[in-house]
Every structure is written in C-alpha cells, then in structure tokens.
Chain A
Amino acid sequence: MGLLFSFFAVAILGVIAFVGVRSIHLHYFFGVIIPYLAFAVFIVGIAFRVLKWARVPVPFRIPTTAGQEKSFPWIKSSKIDNPFTSFGVIIRMALEVLVFRSLFRNTKMELRDGPQFTYGSTKWLWMAGLAFHWTFLVILTRHLRLFFEPVPFFVEILETLDGFFQVGAPVLYITDLIFLGAVTFLFLRRVIIPQVRYISLASDYFPLFLIGAIGTTGVLMRYFLKTDVVGIKELMMGLITFNPVIPAGIGTIFYIHLFLVSALFAYFPMSKLMHMAGVFMSPTRNLANNNRAALHANPWNYPVKAHTYEEYEEEFRDKMKSVGLPVEKE
C-alpha cells in the first residue's frame, strides 16, 4: 500500500514535469519559480523545526551508553562510548555522524532450532547506509560546479578521483554506481525482510523512490540522454544572482531531474529526512554523562515551600518547652 502509493506519487511528479515542460512549455515555472520556492521551504522549514526542537527542555542527561561510566579512578572508564567531557562528546558525535557508529552495533535476533534466541551482528545496513550517504555527499559536492564560478578547487579533485577508472566519455563516476546500488539495496531490504516490510510506511518508501528517481534521471542525463551542461550552468548562475534566464536547448530530462530535486527539498523539512539535523540534537548522543559528578537541576522545578526545623522550633518553642520537649535554642 505505502509502497505503491509512493511509487505512483514519484511517477506522477515525473510526469508533471515532463508534461509541463514538453507540452505546456512552462520552462520558467519549472526552471525558476519551483526551485526558488522549494529552496525557501527547505531553509525556512529546517530552521523552524530546529528552533522548535530547541525549545524542548532537556532536564537530565540520558546516558544511553555502551561503555563503563566514569566513577572511581581505579575503574577504567570508556571515554568515547560513555563520555565524561565535552571533548569525548565531540569524538562520539563525530564518529556517529561520519561513520554511523551506533548503526555499526546493529544486531539481528533470530529464533534458531529450538526455542532459543540468537543474536548476531549484521553490518549490511550499516555498509549500505554509509555507502549511500557518502556517495550522496560526493555527488552533491560535485554538483557545486554548476553553482560556483570560478569552481572551487576541491570539486575538480573530487571529479578526478571519482572518474579514476577513466571509463568512457563522459567518464563514468564510481559514486554514481555505488549510489544507485545502495538505494536499490535499501529499498530491497524494506521489501524482502518481512519484519522491516511490516513497519515500512509510505513515508519510508517515498523518500527512497524520490532519491532513486533523482539518481536515475541524473545518470540518464549524464550518460545517455545528453543535455547542454553549459546552458544548465547559465540557468543556475542566473538563479543565484537573481537574474533568471532560461537558455534554449536544455532537455526535458533536466527539468524532470530539477523538479524531483525541488520536491525532495520541499518535502525535506516535514519528513524523516530531518534526521540530518536531528542527529546533532539527540540528547542520548550529544550530552556528556556526568550525572554523578554534576548537579543538573530540573528546569521546571517549582520553588518548593520548605519549613526548616529552625523555623519550626521558632514557631512552637513555647509549646515544646511547656511539655518538656528538648529544644536546640533556649
């Protein structure tokens, strides 16, 4: 259900761009207005959600940790998996963000012969996730050649490394292959493993299909249905200098690519893709576990009305004395 819905949603998005550009010639709409709108929604939406999250109180350190907490000096503590200092937290965050450390610990649980559970490690999701996210980043960084003039030096370095095998012309980028392969794996994982399939919703399939379709149109455009890259760069430079121009001769496939990307950008702030910002704001990851060493006052504690013993004695001294109770101050 979610699967078919998402599939057709993405297909319809593609058809909208195709018909809109091919038959109705809305080049300006799909080339200028939609990208601007999508980009605005992207920025404002992300800022909005991050600020909304920022207002949620974090009263206490939530130590979901995988290591020994710092305690006595003679007990060895785990400085990264259970960080006590900000430096430890930075290392833990860096490992989490750059190499998905907690996904690395992913286990699978199986009921094997006899009523016995076995746990085993599975690294496939971690590997495919890493491949997917890193190639996505490389591809986006390579795209910067369309948005900068002069093009920053690291873009050409990436292009050279990426086209290392010098297959064909235009050279085949290894990241394109890995990217599409990883998206396919992540999709098949959802369909083939029954437990994962059971918990998969349209909001899981839709981004996968959308990103897959973006990658596919990109690859089609680069290697098969060629378009005029110089014209596309003119269009992009027009957008970023707020002087939009629509050069003639850019193929429809580019507008489909751009429209799907715009859909992704606009969808981003209201989807699970916000984990991009969320990972930095996870309280289980970004707080040092110093609960035993520092006092973390609950911010919504109301001032408790206290009545100390001194005050009590002050109030009842006479009565206490009269029945012969001992008092501290005569």
Chain B
Amino acid sequence: MYNGGKILLGLIIFISLVTAPFWLSGKQATAKPDPKIDTPEILKLPESDRQCVESKAYMKKEHMKMLNEWRDWVVRDGVTVYTSTTGKQYTMSLQNTCMKCHSNKKNFCDECHNYAAVSPYCWTCHLEPKEKGL
C-alpha cells in the first residue's frame, strides 16, 4: 500500500465520525421525555374531560403549526376564538390558554424540547408562567 499510514488514518477518522453516535451515547440515550400534565388547572378538570385543545396525537405532532396559525389569526385577522373539532371554544392565546393549563413549562414543554433540541424563541416576548422551585 502506498502512503498506507495516511490512508488508514483517514479511514479510521471517517469511520469513528460516522459511528460516533454508537459509542458516544451512554445510558441517557434511552431516557424518554416525560411531559407532566399534573398542573392545578388540568387537575381541576373532571377526569373524563382532561383533554387538550385537540386530541393528544394531534397536539403532539401539530402544536407548533397550531400556534403559528393562532398567532396569524389573532394578530392579522383579529379572530380570537378557536373552535376545536369537538366543538369546544378556546381563546387563542399562548400565555392565557396553553400556558394556563400547562403552567409547568419546565416539566412539560421543555421536557420534549430539550430532548428534540428545539428552543422556541417565543419567550423573548411572551411571558413564561411563573414556576416555583425547580
């Protein structure tokens, strides 16, 4: 082999880089986020009706899109009331609706967002709910 040393070194660096996730992630790798829904506002709801604005599966996938739509509807179109598919009505507001129920931002929103490495920039303007301790 010609210049074998250099080629092998390059190959080893390449393989270490592409396999890095396999040997770099430790026990934490299998820890799943566990968003808590035990806030006072949610516990106040009757147990049969502890639901989000839409179904859980829908919220999980689409909540960012929904917030985006809410923002446009409120700020641009002046529509403030959202009627869900189950017919319930909600005031479209990040702070006063979402965060009223989910007043545990750190144990709810951030739980998933840290895992998926997203940091919504909303909180540079909107107020986070005040949380004790943590």
- Chain A residues proximal to chain B, CB less than 8 Å: 42-43, 46-47, 50-51, 54-58, 144-145, 147-151, 155-156, 159-160, 166, 168-171, 226-230, 233-234, 237-238, 240-241, 243, 249, 251, 277, 280-281, 299
Chain A residues within 8 Å of B10, by CB: 50, 280
Q: Contacting B118 at CB < 8 Å: which of A56, A147, A159, A280?
A: A159
Q: 20 interchain pairs (CB within 8 A)?
A: A50-B7, A51-B7, A56-B2, A58-B2, A147-B21, A148-B24, A149-B28, A149-B115, A155-B117, A169-B64, A169-B68, A171-B121, A226-B65, A227-B61, A230-B32, A230-B116, A237-B25, A237-B30, A238-B30, A280-B10
The residue on A at minimum CB distance from B11 is A50
Whether the pair A156, B119 counts as a contact (CB closer than 8 A) is yes
- Chain B residues proximal to chain A, CB less than 8 Å: 1-4, 7-8, 10-11, 14-15, 18-19, 21-22, 24-25, 28-33, 57, 60-62, 64-65, 67-68, 71, 112, 115-121
Chain B residues within 8 Å of A156, by CB: 117, 119
Cα–Cα distance between A170 and B4 once the two chains are bound (Å): 47
Whether the pair B29, A240 counts as a contact (CB closer than 8 A) is yes
Cα–Cα distance between A155 and B117 once the two chains are bound (Å): 8
Cα–Cα distance between A234 and B22 once the two chains are bound (Å): 14
Q: Contacting B29 at CB < 8 Å: which of A228, A241, A251?
A: A241
Given contacts A43-B19, A233-B116, A234-B32, contact A170 B61 (CB under 8 A): no
Whether the pair B117, A46 counts as a contact (CB closer than 8 A) is no
Whether the pair B14, A46 counts as a contact (CB closer than 8 A) is yes
CB distance from B69 to the nearest CB of A (A): 9
CB distance from B99 to the nearest CB of A (A): 15
Whether the pair B2, A57 counts as a contact (CB closer than 8 A) is yes
Q: Contacting A43 at CB < 8 Å: which of B15, B21, B61, B67?
A: B15
